[in-house]
Structure 1
Amino acid sequence: MVNSRPVVIIGGGPAGLTAGYELMRHNVRSIVLEKANKVGGISRTETYKGYRFDIGGHRFFTKVSEVQEIWKDILSDDFIQAPRLSRIYYDGKFYDYPLSLFKTLKNLGPLSSTLILFSYLKAKLRRYLHPDLEAMTFEDWVIDCFGERLYRIFFKTYTEKVWGIPCNQIRADWAAQRIRNMSLKQAVLNALFGNQDAKSLIKKFDYPRLGPGMMWERCQELLETYGSPVHLNTEVVRVEREKKRVTKVIARRGDNTFELTGDHFINSMPISLLAHRLYPSPPDQVLAAAQGLNYRDFLIVSLIINRDHLFPDNWLYIHSPDFKVGRIQNFKNWSREMVPDASKTCLGMEYFCSQGDDLWEMSNGQLIELAAKEIVRLDLGVKPGDVEDGCVIRQRKAYPVYDSEYRQHLQVLQDYFTSFENLQTVGRNGMHRYNNQDHSMLTALLAARNILGEQHDIWNVNVERSYHENFTDQEWSKVKLQKTKNPGIYSQPLPSVQ
């Protein structure tokens, strides 16, 4: 069976669905192929016995009005305002995130605080004496900003939990992208003068009342209503091409295999996987680059706790090396409708791992037992016997890894795929960029507009200034103006949104 649609979209996460939605608004039909049994990718909402939980937490906050308009168009009045509170939990004490100078020094005590100050001054002296010395790794970058002692207390352990590799093997790109504009000096200014320029300081954000999956399930409904079907449980097994033009995709759903032709193709599955699905195969150097890209997997143990209230945070970062859990979500604090029984609390114990390692290979029962023991040991108000039930969700390829060789591999893939006439690759995994769902939406929005006749270089979205809370509508307007004057060329890259 051969079907044909003007646009074939691979992947039903935020990127793929946003592309389909933008095309739908311009009366262009598409078809979306999603391997999983529900839409949303890692922005989906899972359910267990009526309890709803994210695959990680997903704030809805942006200063790019066009992204905001899509959210509001799709969900309308189903957003709530959630207060933002996230803290670091280290050595039995809470620390503000971003770090609050005075509270941090009080918790650490005078001796540790003095040593942190000297460590910071040492780092600044080193930078003064060697101004041309570039920070190449995450470790170098953070030490330059905070000093070595603060780095070892608040960055090293948690970061290595997330990535599973030493901090001196992670490129500085990731640090600059995720904690840009933060330093000990900035923390002092914040404490003394209330400076709010650092990006992570928003106090509230929009959130769908039933979780982020509500957004993408509603988007799916809209697409299907207007003639753009979304096929779940459908895996793309081959992408056929003639030279630099895609001609069809071969997809499999259950025991059935079918072909889809189209004029244009948008991809949001991992770019490394796309390379291996191409037929005829791409050149050897492209396949080698795809093989060289690495990913970090993730699993969440959702625990139902017989307590009506625990801590007030949306999420906690667990920095202690004595615990395997890296982050804890309190979904009741995101939206009360996530928890069907007001006398209970649902916690998401998040573990960063890789397929095949000890954590990943543990059975669901063992993981629930581990999570239950750790939440009691953390002394966050959960007592033995309070954990009533739990479930486990595993997520492959959750985080593109910024290791020492990723940039050169990605450049090979970028050069190759941008040479195709009718194929664009978008989103977090489609571009191997550790960015948020809003950034994925933005790349897909521009890809759809390319199909509609505009000219955008989507690979220039969010290269340098990558975090949304420093980015305003005024700046976005300048970029749009630049695009009008010089199609496809931007004088400065767009940032990510979360």
Structure 2
Amino acid sequence: MVVGTQGDGMVDVAIIGAGPAGLTSGYLLTKAGLRVAIIEKDERYVGGISRTVEHEGYRFDIGGHRFFSKSQQVVDLWNEILPDDFIQRPRMSRIYYESKFYSYPLRAFEALRNLGIWRSTTCMVSYVWSRLFPIKDVRSFEDWTSNQFGKKLYSIFFKTYTEKVWGMPCNEMSADWAAQRIKGLSLWGAVVDGLKRSLGLNKRPNDGMATKTLLESFRYPRLGPGMMWEAARDKIIATGKGDVLMGHALKQLAQDAQGNWRMTATHAQGETVITARHVISSAPMRELASRIHPLPDSLPQATELKYRDFLTVALKIRKGDLFPDNWIYIHDSKVQVGRIQNFRSWSPEMVPDADVACVGLEYFCFEGDGLWSQPDDDLIHLATREMVTLGLIQPHEVIGGAVVRQEKAYPVYDETYAANVAAMRVDLEARFPTLHLVGRNGMHRYNNQDHAMMTAMLTVENIKAGERLYDTWCVNEDAEYHEAGDEGDEKVLAAREAAAQRAVTPDQAAALNSLRDVPTRLPAETETAQTADRAAA
């Protein structure tokens, strides 16, 4: 099968992956009159990690996706694609630790009260010690977080959960992760805010943020985030300019002598060949590198990139809602679960039975390990036992369940990721100017949904212009549960230096400097100050 309906049998752009970045690209390109073909290896769902899975009328959000963005362009695009199906939902997230709930972000006085006098005292002493005698050579997540909060609070509120998520010791994780994701969260700021509130001098939420307040509500598609991406897919197809090929996995990508791309995808009936002038890839960097022909020089670095996978065990429970939170972080070493979502708190329409609560227990793992490979029934029994261990339910209340696996959910920020990404970027941008990397896995960056969309939006502008007007690697990285400020208060996302430009070899640094010399004519509204509020995940 050959895809391409233009006179020369070629599409303008071939897109790998029908997630937020891929579908945003396809929607904007077809809207501009260009012909696109999108391949997606999932046979049923579009949206990638932002898809919504349906089982017996119950809908599951894979990972939890609040629709909030500081970019007015992203907000406008959401409204354009899905104009009539957003609802406003209250925002609430907490930490569960030793049978008690703690607000997240931490509220200093609440946390110290729950911990008790003795433990609170040791936490404050540890914090003061960290300010007086900080670790000088900060290399790891543990170093950075211990300096910021003290060793004791780090061990209580960061270590257990973070190691569950990443499957590696915190002292082996790059300090980049903490600096990017929890920068701006200040224990001292939280204490000062708490004192002001106790005196009636401050009414805003005590979240420890120095400059911004935490949003208290967010918009959400009434049937889950997949509703957005299903609508985008349908609009792409309706233009007559786009094909969305489900169940198609990338096999090989090669250029001919004229610089046009030949993309081969495998599916149940055989192979599909797509010829295109440009390729947009949201596929994981490691997978893309191994499928480009001839193999890129940066393949050794690409193969070193790591990913963390996870699975959701959704339980249907015969009782009223268990808790009001969108999700709860489980900082308890007695159980393996890392986070529990309450799907009705995202949208009541995701749970069809008013007498049934539906929750999703998220387990972080590696594809192929013991947890990932367990039969679904065993995972449902495990999730039931752990809900009982946490004191949230009785075993007889569970009336059913389902398991959803998500591979390569999180690009890992280990000690070598930045140099590896930089090498891959330099190699591909120099050799293949018509190959464009977008999205979370396409760029190996922990971007939120709106940032993934912005990388696609700027890439489309580059393709339409025929030159690289915008540097997509300057798209910001905000954290999804420290969103702050007003929706759409920036025309585009704030620009900053890419994390991948750090920890590189001299040769890579020289190559990156030459790349920075390429004009990146960002509009004036792009030159906004970077927000300080970051969150760890």
| TM-score between both structures, scaled by the size of structure 2 | 0.86
Which of residues 378, 401, 404 is equivalent to 1:393? 404
Closer, same or farther: CA 464–18 of 1 in aligned 2, 3 Å: closer
- State the partner residue of 2:347: 335
- State the partner residue of 1:33: 39
After TM superposition, give the deviation of residue 258 of structure 1 in Å. 2.0
Closer, same or farther: CA 477–217 of 1 in aligned 2, 3 Å: closer
What stretches of structure 2 of length at least 5 have no aligned partner?
Answer: 4-9, 197-201, 496-518
- State the partner residue of 1:24: 30
In the alignment of these two chains, the number of paired residues is: 488
Which of residues 426, 440, 461 is equivalent to 1:449? 461
After TM superposition, give the deviation of residue 488 of structure 1 in Å. 4.2
Letter of the 1:299 counterpart: L
Q: Would the aligned equivalents of 1:460 and 1:494 in 2 still touch at CA under 8 Å?
A: no
- State the partner residue of 1:376: 388
- State the partner residue of 1:483: none
After TM superposition, give the deviation of residue 190 of structure 1 in Å. 3.0
Q: Would the aligned equivalents of 1:251 and 1:258 in 2 still touch at CA under 8 Å?
A: yes
Closer, same or farther: CA 346–478 of 1 in aligned 2, 3 Å: closer
Q: Does 1:287 align with 2:299?
A: yes
Which of residues 404, 413, 423 is equivalent to 1:402? 413
Q: Does 1:156 align with 2:165?
A: no
Letter of the 2:225 counterpart: P
Tell me the distance in 2 between the aligned counterparts of 1:497 and 1:28.
37
Closer, same or farther: CA 387–474 of 1 in aligned 2, 3 Å: closer
Q: Does 1:182 align with 2:189?
A: no
| TM-score between both structures, scaled by the size of structure 1 | 0.93
Deviates more, 1:420-429 or 1:177-186: 177-186
Letter of the 1:158 counterpart: Y
Pairing 1:309-388 to 2, within 5 Å after superposition: 309-380=321-392, 382-388=393-399
**Root mean square deviation, CA, Å:** 2.5
Closer, same or farther: CA 140–224 of 1 in aligned 2, 3 Å: same
Which of residues 72, 78, 87 is equivalent to 1:80? 87
What stretches of structure 1 of length at least 5 have no aligned partner?
Answer: 481-485
Q: Would the aligned equivalents of 1:437 and 1:497 in 2 still touch at CA under 8 Å?
A: no
Which of residues 210, 226, 229 is equivalent to 1:216? 229
Closer, same or farther: CA 463–81 of 1 in aligned 2, 3 Å: closer
Deviates more, 1:469-478 or 1:273-282: 469-478
Q: Would the aligned equivalents of 2:185 and 2:534 in 1 still touch at CA under 8 Å?
A: no
After TM superposition, give the deviation of residue 44 of structure 1 in Å. 0.2
Q: State the Cα deviation string for residues 222-259 of structure 1 (Å, max 9, x = none).
A: 00000212111011100012589452101122122121
Closer, same or farther: CA 386–217 of 1 in aligned 2, 3 Å: same
After TM superposition, give the deviation of residue 189 of structure 1 in Å. 3.0
1:433 counterpart SS class: coil
After TM superposition, give the deviation of residue 476 of structure 1 in Å. 4.1
Q: State the Cα deviation string for residues 35-75 of structure 1 (Å, max 9, x = none).
A: 11210000000011100011111000011100001111111
2:336 counterpart SS class: coil
Percent identity, aligned pairs only, is 47
Which of residues 269, 290, 297 is equivalent to 2:283? 269
- State the partner residue of 1:440: 452
Tell me the distance in 2 between the aligned counterparts of 1:492 and 1:164.
36
After TM superposition, give the deviation of residue 328 of structure 1 in Å. 0.1
- State the partner residue of 2:500: none
Closer, same or farther: CA 404–478 of 1 in aligned 2, 3 Å: closer
Tell me the distance in 1 between the aligned counterparts of 2:492 and 2:166.
36
Letter of the 1:206 counterpart: R
Tell me the distance in 1 between the aligned counterparts of 2:483 and 2:464.
26
Pairing 1:62-101 to 2, within 5 Å after superposition: 62-101=69-108
Which of residues 475, 482, 496 is equivalent to 1:461? 475
Pairing 1:51-130 to 2, within 5 Å after superposition: 51-127=58-134
